[in-house]
Amino acid sequence: MHTTTGFLHEGRAYGLLAAAGLRVPRHGFLEAGPLPFAHGEPIVLKGIADQLWHKSDKGAVHFGPFDAEALKTEAAAMRGRVAEHPWIGGLVCEKVAFKRLAGLPTEALVSLKRDPDAGWLVVCGIGGLQADAWAALAPPLIWPLGLCKPEQALADLREHWLGRTWLGRQRGTEALTDEPKLLAFLQGLWRAAEGLDREGVTLLELNPVVLDGDGLPTALDGVGTLEAAAAESPASPNPAWYQALVAPKNIVLAGVSSRAGTVGRIILENLQQSTLPEGSIRLIKPGATEFLGLPCLGSVAELAAAPADQLILSLPAALTLDVVEQLCRQGGGATVVYLVAGGLGDGADCEGLGERLVACLAEHRRAGKWTPALVGPNGLGLYSPDLNLNTLFIPDEKLPLRPKPGHAALVSQSGAFLITRLSRRPELGLRAAIAIGNQMDLRCSDFLAGFGSDPAVKVVGAYLEGFAPGDLQATAQATKQLRAAGRRVLLYKGGRSQEGMAAASSHTGALAGDHALQASVLRRAGAMLAERIEVFDAALSWLATYAAGTPHRVAIVTNAGFESVASADLLTGPFRGAKLTEAEGTALAATIETHGLTGLVSPRLPLDLTPMADEAAYLASADLLLASEADVVVVGLVPLTRRLNTSDPAAFGPFASALANLARKHGKWLGVAVEGGAIYDAYRQGLREAGLPVFLTMEEAMEGLRLIASEV
């Protein structure tokens, strides 16, 4: 028989599945000698040839009784029909009688895939000839084996169209199998992946998988691909890079011009506002000992004797490469290097500069030599409030950053996303906000691991357009470790459509992969994945204020009917409205009476206080609701009523502080939506300064909470 190259044929696939304890048809090759079939027994003859994926399309499938001589004749005819494919042999298989249901699909498609980014996956959906059409109606399930156990997969399958059909949970149907058999099948797939990995298999497609007469899932076909083992990955960067980046003791900047308004000058001006000790900022300036009042080094070579924690390179791409290569040759100079320039490994790189940079780092790390950790290229900078450290090349008049240390960290592949978040949400309490650029060296997973090593970080928000090769799985593992340590991870993944992928690639050089796969892997790891940027922003605002807790029961108090109705419409599934006990309802009625609102306000949730309510009524109601079963109280304020003082900080400041104090008193979440125009911006700011998450609409506040409530 012919030996395949890169192709896993059905006969070999059956052997690997059977070794994992999975049910496969009795089978054997005609050319291999006696076969386990009685004369006249119903069988299926299949012509197996190298790279022949769809045998029936080529006339290489034959149904009939077992007759060895007749089958040899038929196999010879098949060989002629697939002459362009090197022949492997005639595979005789048991004809499996399997269960069907009229009008419903009962065949499955199962793939085991070693994804270069996500590791081993099992994909399970409706199979058969119409698998593509059914996939649009019932998308297949994706199970990353490193992040999901067979028992979790069974819970998913139970709710999928296929599982509901197999288990008799569709209306008017009977069960074709049971959960123990399905669990045993899934456990077998997990075992099979281990064997496939040892054999160098990268893909095994089983289509169809049917239920035999005993309800056992049985693969009726299986083909796949083989591949040589992947090259060993270079060693990881020295973890000291993280502190050198977010809390450096000294910084060196290269690329500062005498001209105002240039990138290097803006970075320097921002740096000089930090609380770094005097003398901790140096410049590289050939031929100068001092420039703009700062000490200068003549070249990067001088860093070998006087190294920096952080070296920022605001230089053209070719010069950036020269500096990194020089650092590697001299074996020291900077723990972490931040690359501002683009033109390295992206669409503007016509000279292979990025490839040289990657090769240089890999060569030194493989040899165990000192190597700097690189952030970027195409990096906009970072902000670390603890030191008021701002290396962004955005001038202060465009982005005034005033330090507010906190427990949230923000990492973004897009510099523009980062700075617009900082501009729109100045109230966020941050440990660090970092633009990571094109991830040529330090990748998303490295930053998540860095935040995981930092006890100050409780919440991580990340914007990504694409994963560096192999980094999806590493990012998922870092997310899983953060979640195991009680941290929260909030992600927005751009580049989901074909147009979005093209835009991401042209913008940062990122390759955005299959979103469904990425989303499944990240959610399995415990990340909250926002589908819209507005939802990401809202969830981040909540989490930057409240690191602990998960809001499943929500109490709503507003002064406008539409806010109550719109908010209540979003209370579905595990995210539901809080309920009051009879005693709490009586207490609420008394509160309404105390504040002169009897006859205007109904003592129930959602609570609509009407425009007649003043600050005291809000505070009393919020206090009562925070004492109920509610995890969170969302306060909706339409500020156009004269009963609320929205123009005098001396009046609304104490109100804001009192709301924040109530949340602290009860140890629960409280947020505010102010649904009015720009005239009320100062009012919103007063609420933010009191430490409250503030939103433009109730819908925004509620959507952020819904995402957090969905956290795995």
| Angstrom distance (rounded) from CA 217 to CA 122 | 15
Q: Structural domain boundaries of the chain? A: 26-94, 108-226, 239-378, 404-547, 549-709
Q: Sort strands 217-219 and 201-211 into parallel, antiparallel or unpaired.
A: antiparallel
- The kind and range of the H/E element at 431 are strand 430-435
CATH match for 26-94 among 3.40.50, 3.30.70, 3.40.1350, 3.30.1490: 3.30.1490
| Angstrom distance (rounded) from CA 470 to CA 678 | 46
User: How wide is the angle at C-alpha 623 spanned by C-alphas 617 and 627, nearest 5°?
Assistant: 145
pLDDT in the model for residue 347:
83
Collapsed DSSP state (helix, strand, coil) of residue 639: coil
| Angstrom distance (rounded) from CA 107 to CA 135 | 13
Collapsed DSSP state (helix, strand, coil) of residue 120: strand
Strand partners, 577: 554
pLDDT in the model for residue 497:
52
pLDDT in the model for residue 161:
92
Neighbour-count burial of 126, counting CB atoms closer than 10 A to its CB (0-12 exposed, 13-18 middle, 19+ buried): buried
Q: Give buried/exposed letters for 162-187 (b at 16+ CB in 10 A, else e).
A: bbbbbbeeeeebeebbeeebbebbbb
Query: How far, CA to CA in Å, does 491 sit from each of 26, 432, 481, 518?
Result: 48, 16, 15, 11
Residue type present at position 339: L
Half-sphere exposure of 500 (CA within 13 A, CB side): 12
Count of Cβ atoms closer than 10 Å to residue 641 Cβ: 15
pLDDT in the model for residue 574:
80
| Angstrom distance (rounded) from CA 82 to CA 89 | 12
Q: Sort strands 27-29 and 217-219 into parallel, antiparallel or unpaired.
A: unpaired
Strand partners, 253: 283, 312
Count of Cβ atoms closer than 10 Å to residue 35 Cβ: 17
Q: Give buried/exposed letters for 565-602 (b at 16+ CB in 10 A, else e).
A: ebbbebbeeebebbebeeebeebbeebbeebebeeebe
Closest CA to 8 of 223, 153, 220, 293: 223
Collapsed DSSP state (helix, strand, coil) of residue 667: coil
| Angstrom distance (rounded) from CA 285 to CA 295 | 9
Structure tokens at 680: 């009320």
pLDDT in the model for residue 444:
95
Count of Cβ atoms closer than 10 Å to residue 397 Cβ: 6
Structure tokens at 535: 């939802």
CATH match for 549-709 among 3.40.50.261, 3.20.20.150, 2.60.40.1120, 1.10.10.10: 3.40.50.261
In three state form, how does the secondary structure of 288-352 look? CCEECCEEEECCHHHHHCCCEEEEEECCCHHHHHHHHHHHHHHCCCEEEEEECCCCCCCCCCCCC
| Angstrom distance (rounded) from CA 701 to CA 635 | 10
pLDDT in the model for residue 502:
41
- CA dihedral over 135, 145, 551, 680, signed as positive or negative: negative
User: How is domain 239-378 classified at the CATH fold level?
Assistant: Rossmann fold (3.40.50)
pLDDT in the model for residue 232:
59
Look at the chain and count its residues. 712
Q: Which residues contact 691 (CB under 8 A, 6 or more apart)?
A: 545, 660
Q: Give buried/exposed letters for 43-79 (b at 16+ CB in 10 A, else e).
A: bbbbbbbbebeebeebebbbeeebeeeebeebbeebb
**Longest distance between any two alpha carbons in the chain, whole Å:** 100
pLDDT in the model for residue 166:
96
pLDDT in the model for residue 346:
86
Cα-trace Rg, the chain: 31
pLDDT in the model for residue 516:
82
Q: What is the CATH number of domain 108-226?
A: 3.30.470.20
Count of Cβ atoms closer than 10 Å to residue 261 Cβ: 9
User: How is domain 404-547 classified at the CATH fold level?
Assistant: Rossmann fold (3.40.50)
Mean pLDDT split into 10-residue runs, the chain, 712 residues: 70 95 96 91 96 93 96 96 95 95 90 90 86 80 93 96 94 93 98 93 94 96 81 77 97 95 96 95 95 96 96 96 97 97 88 94 94 96 97 96 95 96 93 96 96 98 90 94 97 69 38 70 95 96 96 95 90 90 97 96 95 97 98 96 94 96 98 96 95 96 95 80
Closest CA to 353 of 341, 364, 365: 341
The reply to whether omega before 208 is within 30° of 0 (cis) is yes
Half-sphere exposure of 168 (CA within 13 A, CB side): 9
pLDDT in the model for residue 236:
84
Residue type present at position 448: L
Question: In CATH terms, are 404-547 and 549-709 the same topology?
Answer: yes
